[in-house]
Structure 1
Amino acid sequence: MNYGNLYFFSVGSMILSGLFVFVSMRKHLLLTLLSLEFLVLSLYFMFFIFLGFFGMSYYFLLVFLTFSVCEGAMGLGVLVTLIRSYGNDNISSLSVLSW
């Protein structure tokens, strides 16, 4: 059995499901951030498979994971600020001019 095709199929389904949740759940910021983190995890898995397939070192994964953690922390900071200001995380209650 060829595991390479199975890995790429699983990564592709992870990316498609993450994109589907990101596009369909645009009402709440928390769900949007969770779907973005799921997309980052699927990209991390894809990079892991790609680097392992070509026999390269995994140092890039450490840098990618560091930046994804920083991105998640900034997203949570924006979420906490939004909830303190408006009382909810509904994106529809925001105005573009207030940003």
Structure 2
Amino acid sequence: MSARRSLSWSSALSDMRNDRVQVPAGFLGARGRIEAAVRFGKVALVKADGSFDRAGIMTAAAAAAKAHQLTYGSTWAVAMSVALKAAWQAGRTARGRAAH
């Protein structure tokens, strides 16, 4: 057995890039739709006491999922997954903003 090992830096860096978290298709659009709904007062993601408004998050996610389905032609499960991820991320951001 050889005491030396060869390492391909290009394949190692390529593998590292592939391991990073990929943003799902339509995530940024869903997040934008949810933030617009919050900005126009259609839904609230955070209650006055600082807790998450789960009904508001679900309402915003359902609306964003419908738009995602129309745009990408995906299944309801995929569209709802993308929209819920975006809604919770927007909710965490809104809660952080409200705390300061």
Q: TM class by shorter-chain length?
A: 0.3 to 0.5
TM-score scaled by length of structure 2: 0.33
Q: Whose helix fraction is larger, Structure 1's or Structure 2's? A: 1
TM-score scaled by length of structure 1: 0.33
